Amino acid sequence: MVSDFYLDLHPFSFKVTTRIPQVLTNLQTIYGKKLVKYDGQLCSYELSVGKASGVRRVIRPQARFMCDQKEPFKPLSLQKSYAFLEWGMNWTIAANEVQHVIIHSAVLAKGDKAILFPAPPGSGKSTLTAYLAHNGWRLLSDEMALIIPGTNTVVPFVRPICLKNQSIDIAKKLFPDGQFSDIAKDTHKGDVIHLSPPQISWDAGKENAELVGVVFPNYTANTDLQIYQLDKRQAFMQLVDNAFNYSVLRGVGFSTLANVIEGVKTFEIFHNELAEVKDFLEQEVITGG
């Protein structure tokens, strides 16, 4: 059985080693043709997900995640092994990458105009991301925005969309033809599933986009769409709160985020209707209404 794979996920590449069938099946479902046999390609990071040894191979088996021979997390149950790999990939970039300013945020674009959607768990960010990605937008990332320092340019890092709890059923109804991973049950985030973005996002996976908006989304049941323009100082501080490597980059991070905020429109929105949000974004943020 082949256990070493190569994933070219611009701007990074990974060697992924696993012998866990569930991980391999999900990798094939989510990444399709991007997952190829490892054949000595140069890669940014070497990752592995394997079964824990000893008694844990039989009793409540566990998976271990390794990045470049280091084990940053305690093992998780084997049933969560694919989600563990995805989270491990996120951690790998967030913990090591200093070439870009990294914001914990979804990024989607219409053409070459992009919007950041920074938001905490439970805000409906990933459901909105999945909806836009399946309705004429392209996904640059669901989890992390990579901004070139000193610019308003975002670099795609196309990966699956991570959906949680009630969002799973909603997404399965909205995108019946979507490529979904297995559900990882009872994680620290609840039940979790990964959804592969549409092909257009994979195909444009090396095309940068220019930021024109920063929108903080909040899903709120039983409410009409409410839109609030954020002042730039508030928006800046919220971006700082969502920046992974701001404390490492310091001056570069500060000036980059200030530059970003000066060049974009900034909103906070409360919604329960995805189509209304899409209309607002296209009419007011992308085209400038």
Partner 1 sequence: MAFDSLNKGVLVHSFSDSSGCVMLNSATGETLSIELQSEELQIKIKEYICMPQDIRATSDIASLYKKRFLVL
Among 24, 261, 277, 285, binds partner 1 (CB under 8 A): 261
Min dist CB 1 to partner 1, Å, is: 47
Nearer to partner 1, 154 or 264 (CB): 264
Nearer to partner 1, 71 or 241 (CB): 241
Of 41-49, 73-81, 168-176, 251-259, the segment contacting partner 1 by CB under 8 A is 251-259
Is residue 262 part of the contact set for partner 1 (CB under 8 A)? yes
Sites for partner 1 among residues 180-239 (CB under 8 A): 231-234, 236-237
Q: Minimal CA–CA distance to 261: which of 282, 281, 283, 242?
A: 242
The residue range among 12-20, 90-98, 168-176, 244-252 that interacts with partner 1, by the rule CB under 8 A, is 244-252
Q: Which of 33, 40, 247, 289 binds partner 1 (CB under 8 A)?
A: 247
Q: In what order do the strands lie in the sheet with 161-164?
A: 161-164, 190-195, 184-187
Residue 102 burial by CB count (10 A; 0-12/13-18/19+): exposed, middle or buried? buried
Closer Cβ to partner 1, 183 or 252, answer by number: 252
Q: What is the C-alpha to C-alpha distance for residues 242 and 109, in angstroms, rounded to an integer?
A: 20
**11 upstream amide cis, omega within 30 of 0:** yes
Position 151 contacts partner 1 (CB under 8 A)? no
Among 240, 272, 278, 284, binds partner 1 (CB under 8 A): 240
Q: How far apart are CA 190 and CA 178, in angstroms?
A: 21
State yes or no: residue 255 binds partner 1 (CB under 8 A). yes
Length in residues, the chain: 289
250 binds partner 1 (CB under 8 A): yes
CA gap 133, 208 in Å, rounded: 16
> For residues 38 and 254, which CB has a smaller minimum distance to partner 1 in the complex?
254
Q: Given the complex with partner 1, which of 11 and 149 has the nearer CB atom? A: 149
Judged by CB under 8 A, does residue 258 bind partner 1? yes
Pair of tokens at residue 244: 């992974």
| Binder among 40, 54, 176, 251 for partner 1 (CB under 8 A) | 251
CA–CA gap between residue 245 and residue 247 (Å, rounded) = 5
Cα separation, 151 vs 21, whole angstroms: 42
95 binds partner 1 (CB under 8 A): no
For the chain, helix (H) and strand (E) counts, in that order, are: 9, 17
Q: Is residue 174 near partner 1 by the rule CB under 8 A? A: no
Q: How many residues bind partner 1 (CB under 8 A)?
A: 16
Please name the residue that has the structure tokens 């999945």.
130
How far is it, in rounded angstroms, from Cα 43 to Cα 259? 32
For position 284 contacting partner 1 by CB under 8 A, the verdict is no
Phi, psi of 163 (to 5 degrees): -110, 145
Task: Give the binding site for partner 1 (CB under 8 A).
Answer: 231-234, 236-237, 240, 246-247, 250-251, 254-255, 258, 261-262
